[in-house]
Structures are given as structure tokens and as C-alpha cells.
Amino acid sequence: MALRTRFAPSPTGLLHVGNAYSALICQAWAEEHDAELLLRIEDIDHTRCRSEYADAILEDLAWLGLQWQGPVRYQSRHLDAYQQAIIRLRGMDVIYPCFCTRKQVAREIAYMASAPHSEDMLSEYPGICRNMQVDEQQQRMQQEPFAWRLNVAKAMAQLGTSMTWRDESGKTHAIEVSQDMVIGRKDIGFSYHLAVVVDDALQGISHIIRGRDLAESTGIHRLLQQLLGLPEPVYIHHRLLKDSNGNRLAKRNHATTLNSLRSMGVDAHKLGSFLLGMAKPAWPFEADKKAAVLRILGKT
């Protein structure tokens, strides 16, 4: 089997240095292992993704020096593949329609004395719609918007096997999936979890390289792979690039963008060497400290 990984940004904003760090790790791994690196634009969420950001991603990555093989895959152009996965899961009777809003879920949890962690209220689902009668499901599906939730207990019972994921060394790690995750959303049709699992299989991805912030998604992804009869990739969760205060860089936190670095005259090769050369990944520059950035990363 050919070795192949992917970098898969979502066009909800401009790429920042944290994204660049992850992209460079993917490329470095591909070069070290003589593997292919593919580029995927994860743009199924039409409520947040914008085409101008997708174009900007390609420009920023080209400037950074990322080299990918084959055409770019845009999720928004392959919705039929995700729909077929939904149909298959429905046929297995492991998903059910959920008519709850976020507020309803939070209210239900507030009444549950056994709610384990108050800070997870919006992410924990208490199973409000799980045992709804088929007749009621069918009637409400004709009248109300709904999401598809994976019935984890039923899925695990059908598989009858313990869930694990493998890291690059070959070591297996046990997985516990207790949450009935949404895999088809009311507003965009398909969730991130379902789409990436289908894409990784269709693109022949052997190694999934991503930040540790996505490690918790591995359980639901492995479960979906098992249900859909898809290959098991190897998972590599790298450390996250953080700011000088130890916070994870993110778009919502206004992390330094590649566009701004390019505009101020940063040398892309120096930036890449700087990011990959750090013993402890941290971005020490504030967004407005142009002089400090250019002193280390500026063109000579």
C-alpha cells in the first residue's frame, strides 16, 4: 500500500501560523517517508466557509512552499459520497433522527442528576430522541428539521469488537465512544466526522497527521470506519503551536495570518525552518510586532 497523507484546512478564514505548522509537519513526514501529500479543502459547511478563503489558502500554501500531489479535493463537490454513507448507516439501523436544538439538549442535561461534567453540557447528549417510536420519527421528519445521530451503543453491539487506533509505532490505543454524535446536520447535511472518514478512504490516506486537539475525534472516526467497512489508517497527533501565553493558536483568537506575514516581507523558507526547528512549538511574536518578526524572519 502506498503511503499517503493529507493536509485538510477549512476555508472559514485566513490560514494562520498554527495551520502553517501543521502543513509543514505533514510535508516533512511525506518527504521523510517518500509518501504522497494531498490537499483537501473541507468546505461542506456553507454557513461558515467562503470561496475567497479557499482561494487564499491555495495562495498562502504556495507561498509557504507546500507541494501536494494531484488535484485539490473540495468536499462541497462530493456530497453524493457522503449521502451514500448516510443511506448505508440508515440501512444498518445505527442512526436516528434527532429533532433537538442545542438549547433543548442543554435544558435536558440540566435536569439529569447524573450529568458528569457541567463544563461539557453542550457537548453531552442525553439521548432525548434515541428511543422515539418509528411512527413518530416518520411523522416529525416530514414536518421538522432534524439531524442524524449515531446510536453508539447499537453500533458497538453490531460490531462486537473492541475499538482501537494505531499510532506510527504500531502501538494500539483503546477507544471509548459514549456520545451519540451528530453525523448529519440540519443546516449543512453532513458533519465533519462523516465527511473526513469517507474522504480519507476514497483518497487512500494511509496516515492521518493532525493536531492533538483533534485526537478526541479519533474514536468516532474509527467507529464509522468499522461500520462502513473502510480501511484503518495510522494516526499521528502532533503537538500544537501555541502563543507566548501557552494558548492554542486559532482563527477566533486572531492568530497571526500567513497573509499578514507575507505582506510584511517575511521569508517563507525562514518561517518554515523557524517553525519546524523549535524544540517546544511556540509563536513568540505578537501580531503588531513587525520589527521583531522581520529581525528573525525577514528577507535578507
Tell me: do 164 and 122 sit in the same domain.
yes
The pTM is what?
Answer: 0.90
Tell me: do 158 and 214 sit in the same domain.
no
Tell me: do 261 and 173 sit in the same domain.
no
Among residues 141, 159, 184, the one where a domain terminates is 184
Neighbouring C-alpha atoms within 13 Å toward the C-beta of 7: 27
Look at the chain and report how many structural domains it folds into.
2
Tell me: do 125 and 159 sit in the same domain.
yes
In the prediction, which pLDDT does 122 show? Answer: 47
In the prediction, which pLDDT does 260 show? Answer: 92
Let me know: does 258 contact 198? Beta carbons within 8 Å: no
Residue 257 is part of a domain; what is its CATH number? Answer: 3.40.50.620
Least Cα distance to 168 among 240, 237, 236, 239 occurs for 236
In the prediction, which pLDDT does 228 show? Answer: 98
In the prediction, which pLDDT does 240 show? Answer: 93
Let me know: does 41 contact 19? Beta carbons within 8 Å: no
Tell me: do 281 and 270 sit in the same domain.
yes
Q: Which residue is it, cell 460490531?
A: 159
Residue 90 is part of a domain; what is its CATH number? Answer: 3.90.800.10
> Along the chain (300 residues), what's the average pLDDT of each consecutive run of 10 residues?
93 94 98 98 92 97 97 96 96 95 73 42 75 95 93 92 89 87 84 95 97 91 97 96 80 82 93 92 78 85
Range of the domain at 164: 80-184
In angstroms and rounded to an integer, the radius of gyration of the C-alpha atoms of the chain is 21
Let me know: does 6 contact 235? Beta carbons within 8 Å: no
Tell me: do 178 and 87 sit in the same domain.
yes
Tell me: do 86 and 180 sit in the same domain.
yes
Let me know: does 89 contact 46? Beta carbons within 8 Å: no
Tell me: do 70 and 27 sit in the same domain.
yes
Provide the β-strand partners of residue 148.
97, 184
In the prediction, which pLDDT does 27 show? Answer: 98
Tell me: do 66 and 156 sit in the same domain.
no
In the prediction, which pLDDT does 271 show? Answer: 95
